[in-house]
Amino acid sequence: MNKNYKILNNINFPSDIKKLSNNELKTLAQEVRDEMIDAVSETGGHLGAGLGVVELTVALHYIFNTPNDKLIWDVGHQSYPHKILTGRKDKIRTLRKGNGLSGFTKRAESEYDPFGAAHSSTSISSALGIAIANKLSNKSDNVISVIGDGAISAGMAYEAINNAGSSKTKLIVILNDNDMSIAKPVGAMRSYLAKIFAGKTYFSLRETVKLIISAFSKRFSKKAGKAEDFLRSAVTGGTLFSSMGFYYVGPIDGHDIDALISVLKNAKEVNYEGPIMIHIKTEKGKGYSFAEKSEDKYHGVTKFNVNTGVQEKSKSIAPSYTKVFASTLVKHAEKDSKIIGITAAMPSGTGMDIFGKKFPSRMFDVGIAEQHAVTFAAGLATEGYKPYAAIYSTFLQRAYDQVVHDVAIQSLPVRFAIDRAGLVGADGPTHAGSFDITYLSTLPNFVVMAASDESELVKMINTSVDINDRPSAFRYPRGNGIGIKLPNLNDKLQIGKGRIIKEGKNVALINFGARLNECLIARENLSKKGINLTLVDARFAKPLDENLIWQIATDHEALITIEEGSIGGFGSHVAQFLNEKKLLDNNLKFRSMFLPDRFIDHDKPDLMYKYAGLDAVNIENKILDTINSTVVIKKSN
């Protein structure tokens, strides 16, 4: 850490902040901002969101008695300043590295993180749970939730607001309105918040704060008087939140520490039995010119040069899987006007921004609303359109009921493009695509594919265009491909048919997904030891290529499956087939390789796969262990 910081060098915990004057707090805020920029330039990570809440973070820890008072950050993208001020400043350059700080809030990391979060829109629900627990335990500690204008657009946030509004329980919700999430917020909520800010007379900050303080001093009495009424109607127009049972204040300048301290102090001290909504206006990327000018406000960055803002570029010459998906879908959409693109607040992350630029009327960013996205796609499918719902594996989990009830049961041809399949590196277990093979392959009449390389991904997209009688999904990893030639749009797969990559004898390895290259390395190493195994790329977890599996099982003494997913996925379906066909009665040695039964902490992807036992060395060892094992799996009784 820079030893020249005047204030920050002496701040180790929030208790140290309380000794500072208001002017010193402003200096501290600038030093926290500088330290954060410098640290993230070395580590990469989420920059813009944290820069936007520096003053708010300082003010919250100055006013409230954390960790006794519980401070919950929605998503956690913006928690880096919070980490710097809560005993973790000396570790801030370990962000997102192996054995280092998480890029999100994490209960196991600090007592100042009362609730772990990396998916959006959970903060009000969890905060209300803690507040109710305090109430039942006769504790007077405050509970504060900080949620952004993007996250508050999700349905879960409104479920929580609805519940909180009728709970008669004190809870402070800070709506951080920066007109940004990862991409620009969409929908009616964005328009509503904009109307609040600009629609009626907006007072000077001094007058606004004066009225706020006046209103709070009346302790929220029903007879609060004209100052309160005037503030709530003329300044805010916050009728939506008020009608849902919240006492609404704002909007106020979220970069003015004096204003924040005044409002937060009164919110803390007021004797009000109910939830309070404090609406602040901030700027994502505040204080770093390159972030302020960037379209995404430097939401997520690689390592960068602080002086120029230039980020490190990938050294790979191969295109990313995401870009391969987007460019292939665009080519199909040029020929097929029925193709529709859908994303849930992740246009750049899924490549749907590329699709949207080409077909603006056929791309729909529905906001942080995966449940709605899936059922919206189902509705389109009923009318003969070909919706592609491009959603990260970890986020599709949030819409599983809709996948089952609204898509699978009705056998609607929604196409799911599942990005970030498998382990994802620095984002850690909250963003890993560990479970989609399992949770989709259990569904009747679903087509589930996994690309072993970028060429296979193109073929799977090509194939999905013509699947019009049932839902389908194709999964692919984060990062770049392996650098091979891409096929044309007419190169399609036969549904439920795998391929033999290399033929050998005695031992067969069936791959499902992007571990194929590691399998090839393991096979090459084993060949030097005189072991020539058969390598198969399954392509489909559902429907299984039963004929191929039967052939492999009867021609080999040992059969091993491998996948980048949890137990219950591809390997489990193969085992069930072998068992039903009594192939395990013939002394066939069968093993499955999958993600271990634990969450794997963030690290470099190759190291994560090593820890998971799914790298070339572990594959080789598994094969040797299977060959040398005398234990044979018997049919279960």
The tens digit of pLDDT for each residue in 417-436 reads 999 999 999 999 999 999 99
Taking 90 as the threshold, does the pLDDT of residue 291 lie above it? Answer: no
231: DSSP letter? I
Taking 70 as the threshold, does the pLDDT of residue 134 lie above it? Answer: yes
Question: Which strand (E) or helix (H) includes residue 152?
Answer: none
Question: What domains lie within the chain, and their CATH numbers?
Answer: 47-77+109-301 (3.40.50.970), 321-475 (3.40.50.970), 500-628 (3.40.50.920)
Region 146-156: mean pLDDT is 89
Where does the pLDDT of residue 183 fall: very low under 50, low under 70, confident under 90, or very high at 90 and above? low
Residue 631: the pLDDT is: 41
Taking 60 as the threshold, does the pLDDT of residue 182 lie above it? Answer: no
% the chain with pLDDT above 90: 74
Residue 309: the pLDDT is: 87
Higher pLDDT, 386 or 48: 386
Q: Which of 28-42, 299-313, 553-567 has the lowest mean pLDDT?
A: 299-313
Higher pLDDT, 420 or 182: 420
Taking 60 as the threshold, does the pLDDT of residue 104 lie above it? Answer: yes
- The answer to whether residue 557 is catalytic is no
% the chain with pLDDT above 70: 89
Taking 50 as the threshold, does the pLDDT of residue 92 lie above it? Answer: yes
**Average pLDDT taken over every residue of the chain:** 89
Residue 197: the pLDDT is: 45
Residue among 31, 35, 228, 370 flagged as catalytic: 370
Question: Which strand (E) or helix (H) includes residue 447?
Answer: strand 447-450
Residue among 284, 386, 415, 539 flagged as catalytic: 284
Displacement of CA 549 from its chain's centroid (Å): 35
Region 595-612: mean pLDDT is 95
Interatomic CA distance for residues 260 and 266, integer angstroms = 10
Q: Among 406, 343, 351, 344, which Cα is nearest to 155's? A: 344
Region 31-51: mean pLDDT is 92
The tens digit of pLDDT for each residue in 208-248 reads 444 444 444 444 444 334 344 434 443 444 677 888 889 99
Interatomic CA distance for residues 157 and 161, integer angstroms = 6
Residue 72: the pLDDT is: 97
pTM (predicted TM-score): 0.86
Residue 232: the pLDDT is: 43
Residue 463: the pLDDT is: 98
398 CB contacts (<8 Å, ≥6 apart)?
119, 370, 371
Bridge partner list, 506 = 556
339 CB contacts (<8 Å, ≥6 apart)?
329, 332, 333, 362, 385, 386, 388, 465
Interatomic CA distance for residues 180 and 346, integer angstroms = 12
568: DSSP letter? T
Residue among 106, 286, 398, 415 flagged as catalytic: 398
Q: Are 514 and 453 in contact (CB under 8 A)?
A: yes
Region 179-189: mean pLDDT is 57
Taking 80 as the threshold, does the pLDDT of residue 632 lie above it? Answer: no
- The answer to whether residue 3 is catalytic is no
Where does the pLDDT of residue 270 fall: very low under 50, low under 70, confident under 90, or very high at 90 and above? confident
Where does the pLDDT of residue 512 fall: very low under 50, low under 70, confident under 90, or very high at 90 and above? very high
| Integer CA distances (angstroms), 115 to 38, 502, 552, in order | 27, 49, 48
Residue 634: the pLDDT is: 40
Residue 273: the pLDDT is: 86
Q: Among 21, 47, 22, 44, which Cα is nearest to 34's? A: 47
- The answer to whether residue 284 is catalytic is yes
Q: Are strands 300-301 and 45-46 parallel, antiparallel or unpaired?
A: antiparallel
Residue 245: the pLDDT is: 86
Region 189-204: mean pLDDT is 44
b/e 565-585 (16+ beta carbons within 10 angstroms → b): bbeebbbbbbbebbbeeebbe
